[in-house]
Each structure stands twice: as C-alpha cells, then as structure tokens.
Amino acid sequence: MRAIHLFPLFALAFAGCIAQPADPQIEEGPVSDQEQAWDSQDGNPTHATHSYLTEFAIDSLKARYPELSTYRAQLVDGANRELHELPVDDAEQEALRVEVQGTNWGADRADLLWARARNTYAAGAKGKAYWYLGIILHYVEDMGCPSHAFHVVHQGTWSQRDNFELLALQRWAPSYSSINRVDPRFASPDAYVPFSGTWAARDFTTTFPYVTYRLDFFPSTWFFISSTKSTFVKNRQGRTAMVTKWALESALTHW
C-alpha cells in the first residue's frame, strides 16, 4: 500500500478494540493503493517492518561481511519498495515492476532482479546492486505473511486489509526461540521467495489445522488476541527475519 494510508490503519488500530472503522470516509484510499504485506517505510509513522526484517539480516551478518555496513541504506531502501501488481509513480521502479511481473503477493520473476544485481555488482556499482538485492529481500519478507503465502488478495485500505499485517505494524516482537527450519543454502537469493512462502503456509496449517486463511482470521489489535495467535505472529516475525538473513547471505556468497 502507499504508506500514507498506514496512518489511518494505525490510528484506528489504537483507537480501541474496534472491528470496523468509525468513519466510513476513512475507509478507502485511491484505487492505485499498493498492496503490501509487512508495512514499508514511505510515509509510515512507525519503524517499518520491512526495515526491521532487513536490519536484523544486516546486523547478523555485518561482522563477516563489512560491506553490509557500507551499503546498509541502499539495502534497506530496496527492501521497502512495493513493486506488486499495481503501477507505481517512479519511472525506474515502474519499469522494474513490469519486468519482474509483480503480483499481489510477490513477483513471478524475482530471478531477473538477481541477474541485474549480479551484473551491476560486477560492473562496480555496488550501491545499486544492493538496492536491487533489497527488492528481492522484500519479496522474501512478504512471503512470510500467510496472506501472501496463500495468495489471498488484499490491499492497504481498511476494507481490504490483512489483520495479520496490521498486528505486525503495531508491534515488532520477533521470537527467535523456535526457528523450525534450517538454511537450505540456495545458490541465489530469489530462491528464498517461494521457500519463505512454503514455510509460512506450513506454519499456518500446522498451527491452525483445517482453517482456511482469511484476512480477518487474526484480530485487528493485540488487546484480546489469543496466546496461540500472538505466538504465531511473533514466530512469523522471527522466522521471516531469519529467512531474510539466509537470502542475504546467499547473495553475499554468490555475487
């Protein structure tokens, strides 16, 4: 979503345990609103979840790969790009969005971003290469949300919101104590996009058997959330941070 519409969501979420917007006027943004999974930084009054996820990956690896500290800003900025199924204003990003065939839940050709990143890195434009890599990480991160993993279409508007994402926006509370996968050590970071989605889907179906994911399956605030759902969100935050780290390390070892 265009992050400017995050604020109404954010404000409403904190206005009380409301299930519906108090004012229908606030409900719908422009049709061009970008979908997003975790919240991203543009116009976001909170520290964006895409930033948290990417920063975890960088901070976990920067001692071994000092270059990460040099290009941290480019990586985090790339990870906050929302290149999905809807057009964006920026011409360069729009061309990229079309090239990678953005979808509501991710992109069909994230591998093309990796090819760009590698070529750009080889040509010496490392800042730009890290920015492309950040966009790949964005898709890896998005697929850590059940709605993306199950391809349940949603947007950043109130009526089309995903409550799981709204919870994540309100609180960064990752749990790293139960990482239930090991790094498959793929040879390219884009391979972690479907891996992340499969992981999220599996987590959901094992935690909530026989449940078909709906955008309102989770409550819109943390106030009265069940412990099972609370733990699920925290685990997903931690596991998505971890898969982001693995994808980043794959890139760093296969430039």
Q: Which amino acid is located at 146 in the chain?
A: P
Stretch that binds Zn ion, among 37-45, 213-221, 227-235, 244-252 (CB under 5 A): 37-45
Stretch that binds Zn ion, among 33-41, 86-94, 184-192, 207-215 (CB under 5 A): 33-41
Q: What is the distance between the alpha carbons of residues 175 and 157, in angstroms, rounded to a whole number?
A: 28
Stretch that binds Zn ion, among 36-44, 125-133, 170-178, 197-205 (CB under 5 A): 36-44
CA atoms within 13 A on the CB side of 43: 14
The reply to whether 196 sits near Zn ion by the rule CB under 5 A is: no
Those residues whose C-beta lies under 8 Å from the C-beta of residue 174, and which sit 6 or more positions away, are 52, 56, 234, 237, 238, 241
Stretch that binds Zn ion, among 74-82, 86-94, 174-182, 217-225 (CB under 5 A): 74-82
Closest CA to 164 of 248, 254, 38, 253: 38
Which listed residue (33, 142, 165, 249) binds Zn ion by CB under 5 A? Answer: 142
* CB nearer Zn ion, residue 55 or residue 82: 82
DSSP state letter for 59? H
| Nearest residue to the partner Zn ion, using Cβ | 36
The reply to whether 54 sits near Zn ion by the rule CB under 5 A is: no
* CB nearer Zn ion, residue 53 or residue 121: 53
> What would the x/- binding string for Zn ion be over residues 95 to 114, using CB under 5 A?
--------------------
* CB nearer Zn ion, residue 82 or residue 203: 82
Give the binding-site size for Zn ion (rule: CB under 5 A): 4
Answer yes or no: are the C-beta atoms of 179 and 240 closer than 8 Å.
Answer: no
Helices and strands per DSSP (H, E), number in the chain: 11, 0
The reply to whether 36 sits near Zn ion by the rule CB under 5 A is: yes
* DSSP code string of 201-254: HHHHHHHSTTPPP-TTSS-SSSTT--HHHHHHHHHHHHHHHHHHHHHHHHHHHH
Q: CB of residue 57 vs Zn ion: minimum separation in angstroms? A: 16
Q: What residue ranges bind Zn ion (CB under 5 A)?
A: 36-37, 82, 142
